């Protein structure tokens, strides 16, 4: 109990400090702790644009890690909202980076330093932009240097996305049923929605190249006929997997939900797990 109270107090103090930053759109960073990621984030922060106010990277990293722990990838929307709240930001830039030894017909044996950038809207916790940057070289150092040379353009691209006025909102659910809890009174006679024929989302080539393991969750709304009215990714993965899930879900024909003998509109979450094929 004492450690939980300390975390809450500590995060609250950080909110007060971080929220003092001014600017139309405030951007905070959170990243995996390794040497390449540290260098990449530092280089990004050095290219602050006139349209985005960067919150102190060390403070934002500390605040977000105090709230989320060490897992800063493949997050739920609720975790994205929490990260933005503790950092006092409008957007969070989550970053992963590492160096790999590769071989190819064109370059032979070489190194690739890559960084995956996930821009999350703090209001909804949803992913609004995913970028994958790559630097290659005959040595690991050259590959990292080539990756770092991309940070100026990367910040410009991220800023252009962040300042767009049409920021996303969570789905307008209105008066619609959710899946009742098992064993509850509402669950009596409930028949869950289901596709007539399931389509497996593709494990993308990009995900394969970077050995991605992730879970994608998509919130789906069906009307009383089984027609999809809205969808939204509520646990993101990037690497093309979110789009793969969206395509598969929308390509399926769905049986509507039944409460007793009556079909009714419903909102539910479908989950898809991805792992590199062996």
On whether the CB atoms of residues 230 and 246 are closer than 8 A, the answer is no
Q: Indicate whether 23 and 154 sit together in one domain.
A: yes
Evaluate whether residue 193 is within a structural domain: yes
Q: Indicate whether 69 and 140 sit together in one domain.
A: yes
Distance of CA 57 to the CA centre of its chain: 19
Q: How far apart are CA 41 and CA 51, in angstroms?
A: 18
Strands 91-104 and 26-31: parallel
Q: Indicate whether 211 and 100 sit together in one domain.
A: no
Last residue of some domain: 162, 186, 217? 162
Evaluate whether residue 129 is within a structural domain: yes
Q: How far apart are CA 80 and CA 213, in angstroms?
A: 19
Last residue of some domain: 162, 187, 209? 162
The structural domain count of the chain equals 2
Evaluate whether residue 130 is within a structural domain: yes
Of 238, 216, 241, 218, nearest in space to 230 by CA: 218
Q: How many C-beta atoms lie closer than 10 Å to residue 46's C-beta?
A: 12
CATH number of residue 193's parent domain: 3.30.2420.10
Evaluate whether residue 171 is within a structural domain: no
Q: Indicate whether 60 and 150 sit together in one domain.
A: yes
pLDDT in tens, the chain (278 residues): 444 444 444 444 444 444 444 446 899 999 999 999 999 999 999 998 888 899 999 999 999 999 999 999 999 999 999 999 999 999 999 999 999 999 989 889 999 999 999 999 999 999 999 999 999 999 999 999 999 999 999 999 998 888 774 555 666 656 788 998 888 888 888 999 999 999 999 999 999 999 999 999 999 999 999 999 999 999 999 999 999 999 999 999 999 999 999 999 999 999 999 999 98
Q: 141 — alpha (psi -120 to 50), left (phi > 0) or beta? A: alpha
Evaluate whether residue 169 is within a structural domain: no
Q: Indicate whether 185 and 142 sit together in one domain.
A: no
pTM of the model: 0.87
Evaluate whether residue 201 is within a structural domain: yes
Q: Indicate whether 9 and 125 sit together in one domain.
A: yes
Evaluate whether residue 263 is within a structural domain: yes
Q: Can you give the residue range of the structural domain that contains 9?
A: 2-162
């Amino acid at each position: 109990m004492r450690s939980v109270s300390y975390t809450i107090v500590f995060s609250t103090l950080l909110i007060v400090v971080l929220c003092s930053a001014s600017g139309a759109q405030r951007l905070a960073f959170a990243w995996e702790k390794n040497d390449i990621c540290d260098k990449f984030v530092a280089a990004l922060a050095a290219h602050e644009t006139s349209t985005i106010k960067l919150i102190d990277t060390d403070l934002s990293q500390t605040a977000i890690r105090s709230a989320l722990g060490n897992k800063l990838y493949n997050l739920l929307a609720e975790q994205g909202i929490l990260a933005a709240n503790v950092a006092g930001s409008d957007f969070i830039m989550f970053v992963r980076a590492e160096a790999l030894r590769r071989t190819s017909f064109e370059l032979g044996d070489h190194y690739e330093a890559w960084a995956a950038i996930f821009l999350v809207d703090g209001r909804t916790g949803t992913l609004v932009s995913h970028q994958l940057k790559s630097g290659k070289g005959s040595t690991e150092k050259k590959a990292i240097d080539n990756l770092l040379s991309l940070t100026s353009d990367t910040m410009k691209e991220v800023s252009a996305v962040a300042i767009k006025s049409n920021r996303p909102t969570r789905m307008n659910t209105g008066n619609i049923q959710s899946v009742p809890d098992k064993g509850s009174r509402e669950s009596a006679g409930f028949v869950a929605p289901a596709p007539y024929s399931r389509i497996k989302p593709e494990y993308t080539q990009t995900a394969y190249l970077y050995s991605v393991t992730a879970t994608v969750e998509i919130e789906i709304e069906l009307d009383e006929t089984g027609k999809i009215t809205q969808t939204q990714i509520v646990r993101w993965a990037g690497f093309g997997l979110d789009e793969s899930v969206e395509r598969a879900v929308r390509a399926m024909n769905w049986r509507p939900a039944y409460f007793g003998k009556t079909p009714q509109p419903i909102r539910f979450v479908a989950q898809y797990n991805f792992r590199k094929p062996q």
